[in-house]
Amino acid sequence: MAAPALQLHDVRKSFGRTAIINGVNLAIEAGERHAIIGPNGAGKSTLFNLISGRFGVSSGRIELHGGIISGLEPEVINRKGLARSFQITNIFPRMSVYENVRCAVLWSQGYRYSFWHRVDALESVRERTEGIVELIGMTKRRERMAGVLTYAEQRALEIGVTIAGGANVVLLDEPTAGMSRSETDEAVDLIRKVTEGRTLVMVEHDMGVVFDLADRISVLVYGEIIATGTPEEIRANEAVKEAYLGTEEH
């Protein structure tokens, strides 16, 4: 059997003497859509920061398709096929929508730090960029500066930039946070569309979105995963109800 797309072995993280992540074990299979839920302060974002290389782990090991990625720089992890979005929109504000996406495409097309290629003349880059811009429904606004887009548009662009490099493992950090109902529905459609054939791990607070999208769910409480399972299993899990869902279910 092939190695899981993403695997965490007893991952721990402390800031000073405060332990945020207390030994997380998790295996996410290729092609799976996996949601991580949990109360505020449970360490969900920290977990993402550890996986994507923004923070180093204190101990433990993270593997991407069986290769160790813990301890690598974020850009190196990205090149290995793991991309992430951010909870707070994190794009290139003074560049156009098209340029934002193109920056995320360049490395994957092999152009790296080239200063001898004319970027406008790169067909593969142009095709891929236009494809992504269309996928996120921003073709008409492609020349708009990213900093002046509406919040929902910026969130869509954030997802576009995240998947543009063709990563096969995608981490989305609260992709629908701060959105209205209809915006959320659109975002869910977009996420479903763009993660087709990829492995998705997402942190999300909106339970509607979670149960709608996720194949499996992990519940993180105080830096530990207390349960992992299908949406039905999680709904039925007593410990989860007590720790987290109890307040949400009516």
Partner 1 sequence: MTRVLSTRRIAFWIAVALVFAGLPLIFKQSFALSMLSQMGIAVIFALSYNMLLGQTGLLSFGHAVYFGLGAFFCAHALNFIGAGTFWFPVTLVPLIGGVAGLLFGLLLGFVTTRRAGTPFAMISLGIAEMVAASALMFTTFFGGEGGISTNRQVGKGVLGLTYGPQIQVYYLIAGWCLVTMIAMFALTRTPLGRMANAVRDNPERAKFVGYNPTRVRWFMMALASFFAGIGGGLAAINYEIVTAETLGLVASGNVVLMAFIGGIGHFWGPIIGAVLVTLLQSALSNYTQAWLLYFGLFFLVIIMFSPGGIANLIALHKPVWNAGLTKRLLPSYAMSAAAGAVMLAGFFALIEMIYHYEAKETSSKAFSYFGLELDPTSAGYWVGAAVVMAIGLVLVFGAKKFVSRAWEDITPEMQRQGVI
What backbone phi and psi angles, to 5 degrees, belong to 197? Answer: 80, 5
For partner 1 (CB under 8 A), the number of binding residues is 39
**Is residue 102 near partner 1 by the rule CB under 8 A?**
yes
**Is residue 78 near partner 1 by the rule CB under 8 A?**
yes
C-alpha closest to that of 8 among 54, 41, 50, 38: 50
**Is residue 94 near partner 1 by the rule CB under 8 A?**
yes
**Is residue 74 near partner 1 by the rule CB under 8 A?**
yes
Span near partner 1 by CB under 8 A; candidates 20-28, 58-66, 80-88, 180-188: 80-88
**Is residue 107 near partner 1 by the rule CB under 8 A?**
yes
Describe the strand order of the beta sheet including 6-15 as a list of residue ranges.
Answer: 18-28, 6-15, 59-64, 67-68
Span near partner 1 by CB under 8 A; candidates 40-48, 56-64, 162-170, 221-229: 162-170
Categorise residue 67: left if φ over 0, alpha if ψ from -120 to 50, beta otherwise: beta
**Is residue 119 near partner 1 by the rule CB under 8 A?**
yes
Residue with tokens 């797309």: 5
**Is residue 175 near partner 1 by the rule CB under 8 A?**
no
**Closest to partner 1 by CB, 21 or 167:** 167
Q: Using CB under 8 A, pick the residue from 43, 165, 175, 223 that binds partner 1.
A: 165
Residue with tokens 């090991």: 61
Q: Using CB under 8 A, pick the residue from 27, 30, 95, 207 that binds partner 1.
A: 95
CA distance to 115, 162, 207, 208, per residue, from 119 (Å)? 9, 20, 42, 42
Provide the pairing of β-strand 67-68 with 59-64: antiparallel
Q: Using CB under 8 A, pick the residue from 113, 140, 182, 197 that binds partner 1.
A: 113
Provide the pairing of β-strand 33-37 with 216-221: parallel
Cα angle: 250, vertex 46, 187; to 5 degrees: 55
- Residues near partner 1 (CB under 8 A): 52, 73-75, 78-79, 83-84, 86, 90-95, 99, 102-104, 106-108, 111-123, 161-162, 164-165
